[in-house]
Structure 1
Amino acid sequence: MASLQISNIETEIPSDILPTRVMQLYASISKLESLQPTKQVNTLFTQLVNLCILPCSIDVRDLPEELQVKRESLISLCGEAEGLLELEFSTFLAKTPKAVSNLNLFPYYNNYLKLAKLEHDILVQNGVLTPKKVAFVGSGPLPLTSLVFAMNHLKSTHFDNYDFDEKANTLARQIVASDVELEKRMKFVTKDVMEVREKLGEYDFIILAALVGMNKEEKVKVLGHVRKYMKEGGILLVRSVKGPRAFLYPVVEEHELVGFEILDIFHPTDEVVNSVILVRKPVF
């Protein structure tokens, strides 16, 4: 999880032990009165992430139904906690004079730097060098992925950031407004991606945040919608997870990418949590 402190990878954890330990943490997390950032909240989620990035051969598809339900609930709790952490920090950052210059104050900024570099390297390896226009779907109040891409990797690209929460977009705009050059290249649109149609056809490259589509049904609907309206030959980057990391984020299976040409799939084994799936809409 990009928003949490994580430690070095340890030895492999047996697949029959991992679910029990995860569910112990889930029990503690689900009893919290609030998921607002506090020492207790941060400690519990840090323990969870540190556990879920351990090497483990578990396949969550093999879990019994009862654990599947709890896993989905845990993913929702992780998403809520991550959102509240970003909201708190973006509210603080939006009030600082040079917000964009102070992104490194966010405690887990380095995790975003690593993920963005990984994703950019994969793009370059697959011939995606200088997209003119990019859409980031699910940008939130602290659009670190777009900011890191725009500042470090795609320095002339225009970014449209989509989020259905106007408060999140307002904060994001205030942060970006602290940099005149970035403000010209970054726009924030308050809209559910399922309501965006022809506009999706304008983008060379679309990034789908890990928490857009929290369960399988929603994720498949979003993927189908984006595929229908994006341009032929357009590139889509989908974030997924593998193994025990599937207790933190939704999994995107290859068979769910109907109608796409799969270009690359990368599963990290270090502290980067998200897998990267790069696909293309075929040209007919």
Structure 2
Amino acid sequence: MASLQISDFNSQIPVDLLISYVFQLHTNISKLESLRPSKQVNALFTQLVNLCTLPSSIDVRALPQDLQLKRASLINLCGQAEGLMELEFSTFITKTPKPLNNLNLFPYYGNYVKLAKMEYNILAENGAASPKKVAFVGSGPMPLTSLVLAASHMRTSHFDNFDLDEKANSLARRLVSSDEELEKRMKFVTKDVMELRESLGEYDCIFLAALVGLSRDEKVKILGHVRKYMKEGGLLLVRSANGARAFLYPVVEEHDLVGFEVLCVFHPNDEVINSVVLVRKPFASN
């Protein structure tokens, strides 16, 4: 399959062609022996990302059931590959003399810098430029959003980062340990979000990473749990996906956010992949 470039399409890629290419890539990725970074793995996922960031009018909700199942499988494969890539680069970067100066070795570092700035701007526009305490759920071994926000945008905020994987948290701690000031403001906790209850009420703002809850049912369950225990007036920033980007990440619809006040929905049209949905837990009426 020839590599696609954005320049191949002046306006937007036809939906039928997009679907054909995406599921051909899904077939090729499914046949890989390993999803660890390699020339072949990197080439296939680069093609997929390039394809899914082309202008397109696709609505993935209209896909038939068999393709919905393939899309779910593809999102799962993307999640696995992303986790393995972060693990490999975090392991490598933690061994360098000044790890935080070498974060740009991670291939998608520039995307995270843009995404974090976008998210900060959205929070600032909604009165949360410098929250006292922030939770990031699903931080992984390369907690780039927290690092960029803590170092560049929220210089007084305390970040509690939650991940299921202790190895991921151990690597993240080693990345941050090279900076005494950041280390004081960033904790890494190995815990499932569904095990967090009253402690969720401590946070002014909670981030929910895109790959926390891969299926809609899981995502809705997690959103309901967070809403139950977070503080009234607290903000929840949820990552989603729009258009063809929904082949890479799960979509969060407004009707999945029952009981929240939706403040902002933003869909990027550049190389940033994730959409951002900002919601608030309303104050209980007297």
Listed one character per residue, the Cα deviations across residues 223-266 of structure 1 (whole Å, up to 9, x for unaligned) are 00000000000000000011111100000000000000000000
Partner of 2:114: 114
**Residues 5 and 51 in structure 2, CA contact (< 8 A), matched pair in contact too:** no
Amino acid at match of 1:55: P
**Residues 266 and 275 in structure 1, CA contact (< 8 A), matched pair in contact too:** yes
Is residue 14 of structure 2 the alignment partner of residue 14 of structure 1?
A: yes
Partner of 1:177: 177
Partner of 1:49: 49
CA distance in 1, matches of 2:118, 2:14: 28
How much identity, in percent, do the aligned residues show? 71
CA distance in 2, matches of 1:49, 1:273: 8
CA distance in 1, matches of 2:240, 2:62: 18
Structure 2, unpaired ranges of 5+: none
Listed one character per residue, the Cα deviations across residues 154-207 of structure 1 (whole Å, up to 9, x for unaligned) are 001000000010000001001100100000000000000000001100000000
Listed one character per residue, the Cα deviations across residues 57-91 of structure 1 (whole Å, up to 9, x for unaligned) are 11111101100000000000000000000000101
CA distance in 2, matches of 1:54, 1:108: 17
1:7 Cα deviation from its structure 2 partner: 6.9
Amino acid at match of 1:115: L
Is residue 226 of structure 2 the alignment partner of residue 201 of structure 1?
A: no
Q: 1:174 to 1:153 in 2, by over 3 A?
A: same
Partner of 2:218: 218
Amino acid at match of 2:229: Y
Structure 1, unpaired ranges of 5+: 1-5
CA distance in 2, matches of 1:130, 1:245: 30
Please give the secondary structure, in 2, of the residue aligned with 1:246: helix
Amino acid at match of 1:179: D
Partner of 1:38: 38
Aligned length: 279
Q: What TM-score, normalized by structure 1, do the two folds share? A: 0.96
Partner of 2:94: 94
CA distance in 2, matches of 1:191, 1:246: 27
CA distance in 2, matches of 1:251, 1:7: 25
Q: What TM-score, normalized by structure 2, do the two folds share? A: 0.95
**Residues 83 and 140 in structure 1, CA contact (< 8 A), matched pair in contact too:** yes
Amino acid at match of 1:22: V
Please give the secondary structure, in 2, of the residue aligned with 1:17: helix
Is residue 132 of structure 2 the alignment partner of residue 132 of structure 1?
A: yes
1:108 Cα deviation from its structure 2 partner: 1.9
Q: 1:106 to 1:7 in 2, by over 3 A?
A: farther
Please give the secondary structure, in 1, of the residue aligned with 2:16: coil
RMSD of Structure 2 on Structure 1 (CA): 1.2
**Residues 140 and 169 in structure 2, CA contact (< 8 A), matched pair in contact too:** yes
Amino acid at match of 2:71: R
Partner of 1:104: 104
**Residues 200 and 230 in structure 1, CA contact (< 8 A), matched pair in contact too:** yes
CA distance in 1, matches of 2:147, 2:134: 12
